[in-house]
Structure 1
Amino acid sequence: MKTTVETKRLQGLSEKIFLDRYAWKNADTNETKVGDVVLVLTKDDPKFPAKEVGEVIARQGRKATVKTRSGEIVESDVEKLTLTIEKTPEEMWTRLANAMASVETTEEKQKEWSEKFRWLLDDWKLVPGGRIAAGAGASEELTLFNCYVIPSPHDSRGGIMETLSEMTEIMARGGGVGINLSSLRPRRSVVKGVNGSSSGAVSWGGLFSYTTGLIEQGGSRRGALMLMINDWHPDVLDFITVKQTMGQVTNANLSVCVSNGFMKAVKEDLDWELVFPDTKDPEYNELWDGDLDKWKKAGKPVVSYKTVRARDIWKTIIESAWKSAEPGVVFMEYYNQMSNSWYFNPIICTNPCGEQGLPAWGVCNLSAINLSKFYDEEKHDVAWEELGRVVRYSTRFLDNVIDKTPYHFPENEANQKNERRVGLGTMGLAELMIRLEIRYGSPESIEFLDKIYGFMAKEAYLASTEIAAEKGSFPAFEAEPFLQSGFMKNMESVYPEVTEAVRKRGMRNVTVLTQAPTGSTGTMVGTSTGIEPYFAFEFFRQSRLGFDKQLVPIAQEWKNAHPGEELPEWFVTAMDLSAKDHIRVQAAIQRWVDSSISKTANCPSDFTVEETAELYELAFELGCKGVTIYRDGSRDVQVLSTAKDEKKDEAAKAEGAESAPAASVGSAAPVAEAAAQAPASSAAETAAIGSLAASLPVTVTPQQANVFDKQYKSRPKVLRGATYKFNTPFGMAYITVNDIDGTPGEIFLNVGKAGSDVFAMAEALGRVISLFLRYGDHGNKVQLLVKHLKGIGGSGAVGFGPNRVESIADAVAKALELHANLLAEDEQAAAAEAPIAATTTATFPVIGSGHGHGSHDASAYTSKDLCPSCGSASLLNVEGCKTCANCGYSKCS
């Protein structure tokens, strides 16, 4: 087999990620000596620290002098250095191979599998999950599992605190946690012990979310939390909309567990009962664990709290997902029908990224095959034989992890060793398909995906049966019920030899396959992550020499071979595809994945609520186990769902215009419509802004106030202005400039999501500029602003030549220039066209945007936020997880 990519020493971001996250660390930095390769802290900021790779060139006492890869000389205390025992991936591969082979029962087996695992890991054919890479063979304390699902909380104060303690302990060790809240009684239900009422399941979810935020701020590992609730729970509507109230649940992903019966009720427009067990039942405290079916089968009473139209709940889910990409939906009843553990261990929740549905005390055990390594250039095909060998070795590798990892909770150990759940996934799919000249999302790609993922499923299951014949099946294995799962019935219809092998040899693992996000590891390896297409082929990288345009390696390779030509049609990015393309790809792969998939269906900003509903329903019909969309610009604008009352709207507009003299961020519409279209999540912020007078110190004397009144231009109720549209490194910006007495008097900035740091800083910039424009006499204030704002650089740039936008501040300067030119060119015509109580909109071409296969650029990275690790505006929603395109930070790993 020939591959187009050879093993090379890691460089740049790849080397930094490897040394920072996965290389074996030397805890005693006092051993640092001249010549050591280290990570040095170049920016000692508690929120946005920065590290660079460098070599120690001098050491004196507790001080070390480091020359970074870019040539910078940094003086540092040795305590602030990251000193690693391993300097290269080859050293890590040897450590991991030996660690996983060490659980084999004989010396001969250990030697055999150490060599096989070393071959498997070489050149990144198998990329172990982050916890495995960091911990195996390096520590007897570090868990090798990424994520956990813990039991639904017992419905009592003690039970909730116990769940909180379990969650905290897991997160402190670097694991993410999933919790289903359906066991908690609904809001306002009676609590006899305290003669009061319950605050409800959603409020306790807020407690778990808040605690996750504390762990995120206090430790080097970020907490990751998934909260779920079942469709029958009386608090389900509160859960769906909770993120529209700022501050309630801010550190958790949300998903609703939807049943087949609910989807039938939606389709047929039936009523839906919201119910909960009768808490007066004498066995309630002893028996109730959140499983409503089990409660009913035991003959226990259920109380109906409310009857609603199923379509009303579904509509609320869809509208909320359209606004803010949450909640996601997990088709939990269908999931359990497909699950191999249906007969002994029901799935109750997923991990934070949604790729692994788990029972109570279940764990993720993850690694990914790098498909980009299996392109046979001579045959222009997949190297099927080598891929099959890698799948089989990888299955044993992950099975050995179960016996190698330390367990911090006996419940985790008992559950995992009873079912031996593993999750073999992939990365590099998009790169492989480009090399095969198959367009991601096309009908041809669906056929290819069915073929390659079916092949891997077959090989993985046969490998698990072979290990079972050698070492024994998982203890809970029963052949007939196992083979009755939905997944195994599908397997039998295509690969009957697999079911024959299961009957004959047994099965080592209850599940074998999972498609997890691989943001950090995929970035380190330098290929496409998970099963996603590339987000963009062009991007800008900041260096000591400024901003440089770079291409994804495979795109650069093609450009070098075809100078002057456009990228061909099989080079597609996430935003080139339709949302239905994303879902069809997910469904094609889901057929051959016995767990679940972490994938995001990217949608354009003009994607409608109706299209969102159609997409969610398509996902159910095609057999996806869940669905999450991300609409470009989600939460920047909210369309009201109630009927429009013209008189109330006019009053609201007038009141809003009078009370908000500076920027009110959150609407892409002209300023006169801002009040009507402000997102629900920013309502509290808008009210808090108030008038400028209210924000002045109460100690202002009458004389001071009079001076201020003379210098400050009050805002009329009706203003005329224009809105300018610019693509910036932070995503699309809508900049509204309104005039007072024929000159700009205020700026409205709409960029970033409500509640994000970008949103807040854009609001602050708009308010300060507006105050400057309307206070005092500084000559030509517009020219002065343009002079000081134009050319300010940030973490990236968009566009070329005169259309290049360096930052939001730079975009504001360009908008002010354009606006001033419009006023100067035709002041009379502009005044004549301005109707009372209306604002005109002047939308200019999006600067820096490109369409078609030859003009991909940084604009594909839309709706970005600040990365909590490096501080750059590079945080993206990829594979259902927040991932930094600059430093590789991942919320889920």
Structure 2
Amino acid sequence: MIGKKKVIKLSISRLSKCVLATSKNPTIMQREKETDQVKKAKTSEKDLSVQGYTYEQAVEASKKYFKGDDLAATVWVSKYALKDSYGKIYELDPSDLHRRLASEFHRIEAKYPNPVSEEELFETLDQFKYIIPQGGPMTGIGNDHQVASLSNCFVIGHQNPADSYGGIMRIDEEQVQLMKRRGGVGHDLSHIRPKGSPVLNSALTSTGVVPFMERYSNSTREVAQDGRRGALMLSISIKHPDAEKFIDAKMEPGKITGANVSVKMDDEFMRSVVSGKPYLQQYPIDAVNPKYKVEADARQIWNKIIHNAWKSAEPGVLFWDTVLRESVPDCYADLGYRTVSTNPCGEIPLCPYDSCRLIAINLYSYVDKPFTADAKFNFPKFKQHTRIAMRMMDDLIDMELEKIDAIIAKVTKDPEDQDVKDVERKLWEKIKQKATEGRRTGLGITAEGDMLAALGLRYGSDIATDFAVEVQRTLAVEAYRASVEMAAERGAFPIYDSKREKENPFIQRLKGADEDLYQSMMKHGRRNIALLTIAPTGTTSLMTQTSSGIEPVFLPVYKRRRKVNPSDINTKATFTDEVGDSWEEFYVFHHKFLVWMEANGYNSSEVKNYSDEQIQDIVEKSPYYKATSNDVDWVSKVKMQGLIQKWVDHSISVTVNLPEDTTEAMVAEVYKTAWESGCKGCTVYRDGSRAGVLVSTTKKERKDSDVPVKRPEILDCEVIRFKNNHESWIAFVGVFNSRPYEIFTGMTDDDVLAIPKSVNKGKIIKLKDENGSRYDFQYVDKFGYTNTVGGLSHMFNKEYWNYAKLISGVLRNGMPIPDVVNLVSSLRLDSESINSWRNGVERALHSYIPNGTKAKENKKCQECGSNSLVYQEGCLSCTNCGSSKCG
């Protein structure tokens, strides 16, 4: 059994962070002596418990802790060091954090038989080496300065779906209440009646799901969480008659920017896609006798999903029958545990008002003698730590219940009217009930890519996949073993019933893997209703200095750019951009790639001065060659996900990265293969569909055919309407291969431009007349008639036309859209009207840069302000601070 040693409590003061001794052997005594010396040194610098530390002090100390890693140090201080509500810092470096966590986990452990000692807990946490609580738990455990939840994610909704304005607005309010406590939220929209349905109010008919998507998205953007936005997942069943409108909603520039969206697709729909047979949509979606039904073309809807995912990486897809069929909590669906949606990154499917907390195990640290011929995975240590991590997960639920009680107490004392406070209070009471009944946990992994590389296995190869599956199977068996052991010691989760679960595929898989474990579970029950996940670990991987989650390494070597003043001493300006700004490019090496280099005789300081070609030669000799996120074959990635999913009772957050020239047919094959392989969900990212800022060291030649300089006679056109200085403006953007090619914009005049506001697409046709070239806009109205607006180039202020030709010429010659926006925004003109035009062009083109970000070299993370955004693990993530739109 884990942690049976008798604990002798030397001190109960959390702030003093005393070490708990298990016995007085020389090793423990020496460790205590060293710990006391460290504490005295820190106390002499500044009294932690009274005065706190400055940001600069904490960063400097943390840089030493991370062995000079400035990025990890600043991220830790900014996001995870203990602070009060005023930003006062109470921890000098991560060793203080890990003492705090170990103390709190042991406090809960001491309530139960066979507690794990504080020192043993600290050893698994120290240096972010083995066990890493993620996000909210890391900041909130033992933090009495702030009233916040320890849960990473929630799903909300109505047990009996409410399709009234009151029910819909209640969800909006609950979403905001959770986000202000730092939780990521998901909810399903399948209960909202489709557009055009009759309603018993003055509106007469329903507006459908899309306006409420916008409402929920806007609410998310309004909620600040310690300087970051909230995170939201919106889902809908493919069976819903408004599913197609939901799929298209985010394609309109500037809309639904505060939410991830996923479509829940059942097996019947997928079979209809394969066979070409019609598919029945209905409302309510689960009704035996629906009020409304329509026969839909499954392939048409499927093609729309594929096109949008190809173009913008959304929507994601959830294979909902697989989710429900495999879900252990759904064995208790009639007791309120019917899964309805997922958290923002899709790795935790949940029932209404359930929540989950996340802890990751660092797989790289279990490789003994990494990057050598003698490298070996330490399974005994991995099993031991998995069981400790699972106990910590269960302890974390007790801590969360304490936090919920504190939140409820605070709400009760708030000086507001009772009916105002009731919504939040009742919300947390429902969440507390689910956490108490099910005790759900989210134990996962990180550093999969580095673990495989350290063992000399190429990510995506059959042997690497087989080994990854074996590791995940071991994790599942040992986590469930720990949960069964805790059930014997602490009691099973209150609604456990072995008869309900006996036919569940996941439970049957466990039985096949370990019959003794299964029989023990039949006898004692299980402490937790569901245990496992694989979540994004963006910030976590910065501090573990490893690859993220289940993903391969993004790049072993890449370049970053920073703006410099060329007149400064010791400044190296690598290049000057089109608007005259100077930039320096510098190499960034993946931490474990550096470890590989050192293990193989390379001097990393010297390598940093090598040419691109020399560095590429070194990469090709490493286990990271052909094993990065853009290298791994999509078939291998999807099949690996499906095989690992068999040993994850929740789900997996993962992205299938595809090259820029990937066709829509290939995206369709990815999704189809994911369904066939048993994945619960899938997200794709086609290189270039969302712009990043990391620069590959491999040069890529531009194809002449990418952007034709000679204008085609007919171009697709997207119509964008917006406010510019309180004036109504319209832009006609000619598009070639999904990128802007030309633009006409100005103030709208409905008497001149009699174009219905519902029109957002059409064609721009170039013609010749006696005055030269003319550009007509052609569109099809809602009655199916083709309409033409003649001479777009002459409809706006004449001054605009010359500048429009200039910007269109830049676009046609292939300048990246972010750089065009930079160019336009840098113009300083004397004419007030032209400056208004400049703002209009910038606003219109801005919508073609994902998430409203700036030019490539200046693209800023909303949280830390750095220009380090990449797309991975289902999220647009910052490699500088680890933040993402998924939370």
TM-score (norm 1): 0.68
Q: Does 1:264 align with 2:271?
A: yes
Using the TM superposition, give the Cα deviation of residue 770 of structure 1 relative to its aligned residue in structure 2, in angstroms.
Answer: 14
Pick aligned residue for 1:650 from 713, 721, 727: 713
C-alpha contact (below 8 Å) 1:388/1:456 kept by paired residues: yes
Q: Alpha-carbon deviations, 1:241-280, whole Å to 9, x = none? A: 1112223311110001111222222222221111113xxx
| 1:664-743 equivalences in 2 (<5 Å) | 667=736, 696=797, 738=809
Q: Which residue of 2 aligns with 1:480?
A: 499
Using the TM superposition, give the Cα deviation of residue 29 of structure 1 relative to its aligned residue in structure 2, in angstroms.
Answer: 12
Q: Which residue of 1 aligns with 2:883?
A: 889
Q: Does 1:550 align with 2:585?
A: no
Aligned residues: 668
Q: Which residue of 2 aligns with 1:427?
A: 446
Q: Alpha-carbon deviations, 1:320-354, whole Å to 9, x = none? A: 11111111111112111101112212211000011
Supply the AA of the counterpart residue of 2:178.
Answer: I
Could you say if the C-alpha distance between residues 258 and 654 of structure 1 is closer, same or farther in structure 2, counting changes exceeding 3 Å? closer
Q: Alpha-carbon deviations, 1:861-883, whole Å to 9, x = none? A: xxx95311233332111111221
Inter-partner Cα distance in structure 1 for 2:675 and 2:227: 38
Q: Alpha-carbon deviations, 1:110-155, whole Å to 9, x = none? A: 5x44333222212321011111110111127221101100015621
C-alpha contact (below 8 Å) 2:52/2:88 kept by paired residues: yes
Could you say if the C-alpha distance between residues 451 and 108 of structure 1 is closer, same or farther in structure 2, counting changes exceeding 3 Å? closer
Inter-partner Cα distance in structure 2 for 1:80 and 1:157: 35
3-state SS of the aligned residue for 2:201? helix
3-state SS of the aligned residue for 1:343? helix
| 1:759-774 equivalences in 2 (<5 Å) | 759=817, 762-763=820-821, 765=823
Q: Which residue of 1 aligns with 2:17?
A: none
Q: Which residue of 2 aligns with 1:149?
A: 155
Could you say if the C-alpha distance between residues 751 and 151 of structure 1 is closer, same or farther in structure 2, counting changes exceeding 3 Å? farther
Q: Which residue of 2 aligns with 1:121?
A: 125
Q: Alpha-carbon deviations, 1:76-100, whole Å to 9, x = none? A: xx99995421112221111111212
C-alpha contact (below 8 Å) 1:429/1:528 kept by paired residues: yes
Q: Which residue of 1 aligns with 2:782?
A: none
Using the TM superposition, give the Cα deviation of residue 764 of structure 1 relative to its aligned residue in structure 2, in angstroms.
Answer: 5.4
Q: Which residue of 2 aligns with 1:359?
A: 351
Using the TM superposition, give the Cα deviation of residue 442 of structure 1 relative to its aligned residue in structure 2, in angstroms.
Answer: 0.5
Using the TM superposition, give the Cα deviation of residue 471 of structure 1 relative to its aligned residue in structure 2, in angstroms.
Answer: 0.9
Supply the AA of the counterpart residue of 1:169.
Answer: Q
3-state SS of the aligned residue for 1:86? coil
Q: Alpha-carbon deviations, 1:722-758, whole Å to 9, x = none? A: xxxxxxxxxxxxxx995xxxxxxx5547577xxxxxx
Pick aligned residue for 1:494 from 513, 523, 527: 513
Q: Alpha-carbon deviations, 1:523-550, whole Å to 9, x = none? A: 1221111111111111335688554323
Q: Which residue of 1 aligns with 2:471?
A: 452
Q: Which residue of 1 aligns with 2:218?
A: 210
Q: Which residue of 1 aligns with 2:658?
A: 603
C-alpha contact (below 8 Å) 1:227/1:252 kept by paired residues: yes
Pick aligned residue for 1:876 from 844, 863, 870: 870
Could you say if the C-alpha distance between residues 492 and 35 of structure 1 is closer, same or farther in structure 2, counting changes exceeding 3 Å? closer
Using the TM superposition, give the Cα deviation of residue 654 of structure 1 relative to its aligned residue in structure 2, in angstroms.
Answer: 12
3-state SS of the aligned residue for 2:190? helix
C-alpha contact (below 8 Å) 2:477/2:513 kept by paired residues: no
Pick aligned residue for 1:131 from 124, 136, 145: 136
Please list every run of 5 or more consecutive structure 1 residues that lacks an aligned counterpart in the other structure. 1-25, 41-51, 56-67, 70-77, 278-291, 637-647, 698-704, 717-735, 739-745, 753-758, 773-806, 810-863
Supply the AA of the counterpart residue of 1:330.
Answer: L
Using the TM superposition, give the Cα deviation of residue 372 of structure 1 relative to its aligned residue in structure 2, in angstroms.
Answer: 1.1
3-state SS of the aligned residue for 1:177? strand
Q: Does 1:346 align with 2:338?
A: yes
Inter-partner Cα distance in structure 1 for 2:379 and 2:869: 36
C-alpha contact (below 8 Å) 1:170/1:177 kept by paired residues: yes
Supply the AA of the counterpart residue of 2:636.
Answer: D
Supply the AA of the counterpart residue of 1:612.
Answer: V
Using the TM superposition, give the Cα deviation of residue 487 of structure 1 relative to its aligned residue in structure 2, in angstroms.
Answer: 1.0
Inter-partner Cα distance in structure 2 for 1:361 and 1:655: 41
Supply the AA of the counterpart residue of 1:392.
Answer: R
3-state SS of the aligned residue for 2:186? strand
Q: Alpha-carbon deviations, 1:410-460, whole Å to 9, x = none? A: 111101111111011111111111110000000111111121111111111
Worse-superposed segment, 622-631 or 26-35: 26-35
Q: Which residue of 2 aligns with 1:387?
A: 382
TM-score (norm 2): 0.68
Q: Kindly, what percent of the aligned residue pairs are identical?
A: 31
Alignment RMSD, CA only? 4.1
3-state SS of the aligned residue for 1:302? coil
Could you say if the C-alpha distance between residues 887 and 240 of structure 1 is closer, same or farther in structure 2, counting changes exceeding 3 Å? same
Q: Which residue of 1 aligns with 2:632?
A: 577
Worse-superposed segment, 458-467 or 866-875: 866-875
Supply the AA of the counterpart residue of 1:387.
Answer: F
Using the TM superposition, give the Cα deviation of residue 36 of structure 1 relative to its aligned residue in structure 2, in angstroms.
Answer: 7.1
C-alpha contact (below 8 Å) 2:311/2:738 kept by paired residues: no
Please list every run of 5 or more consecutive structure 2 residues that lacks an aligned counterpart in the other structure. 1-45, 66-72, 75-82, 408-427, 563-569, 573-584, 603-613, 692-710, 720-728, 745-757, 765-776, 778-788, 831-854
Could you say if the C-alpha distance between residues 528 and 79 of structure 1 is closer, same or farther in structure 2, counting changes exceeding 3 Å? closer
Q: Alpha-carbon deviations, 1:680-730, whole Å to 9, x = none? A: 999699999x97876659xxxxxxx8xx99xx69969xxxxxxxxxxxxxx
Could you say if the C-alpha distance between residues 462 and 866 of structure 1 is closer, same or farther in structure 2, counting changes exceeding 3 Å? same
Could you say if the C-alpha distance between residues 239 and 523 of structure 1 is closer, same or farther in structure 2, counting changes exceeding 3 Å? same
Could you say if the C-alpha distance between residues 108 and 577 of structure 1 is closer, same or farther in structure 2, counting changes exceeding 3 Å? closer
Q: Which residue of 1 aligns with 2:298?
A: 310
C-alpha contact (below 8 Å) 2:368/2:375 kept by paired residues: yes
| 1:510-659 equivalences in 2 (<5 Å) | 510-541=529-560, 547-560=585-598, 561-563=600-602, 566-567=618-619, 568=621, 570-571=623-624, 572-634=627-689, 650=713
Supply the AA of the counterpart residue of 2:356.
Answer: C
Inter-partner Cα distance in structure 2 for 1:53 and 1:81: 24
Inter-partner Cα distance in structure 2 for 1:604 and 1:193: 50
Using the TM superposition, give the Cα deviation of residue 763 of structure 1 relative to its aligned residue in structure 2, in angstroms.
Answer: 3.5
Inter-partner Cα distance in structure 1 for 2:875 and 2:716: 37
Using the TM superposition, give the Cα deviation of residue 364 of structure 1 relative to its aligned residue in structure 2, in angstroms.
Answer: 1.8
C-alpha contact (below 8 Å) 2:265/2:321 kept by paired residues: yes
Q: Which residue of 1 aligns with 2:360?
A: 368
C-alpha contact (below 8 Å) 2:473/2:647 kept by paired residues: yes
Could you say if the C-alpha distance between residues 194 and 267 of structure 1 is closer, same or farther in structure 2, counting changes exceeding 3 Å? same
C-alpha contact (below 8 Å) 2:502/2:508 kept by paired residues: yes
Q: Does 1:331 align with 2:319?
A: yes
Inter-partner Cα distance in structure 1 for 2:212 and 2:793: 37
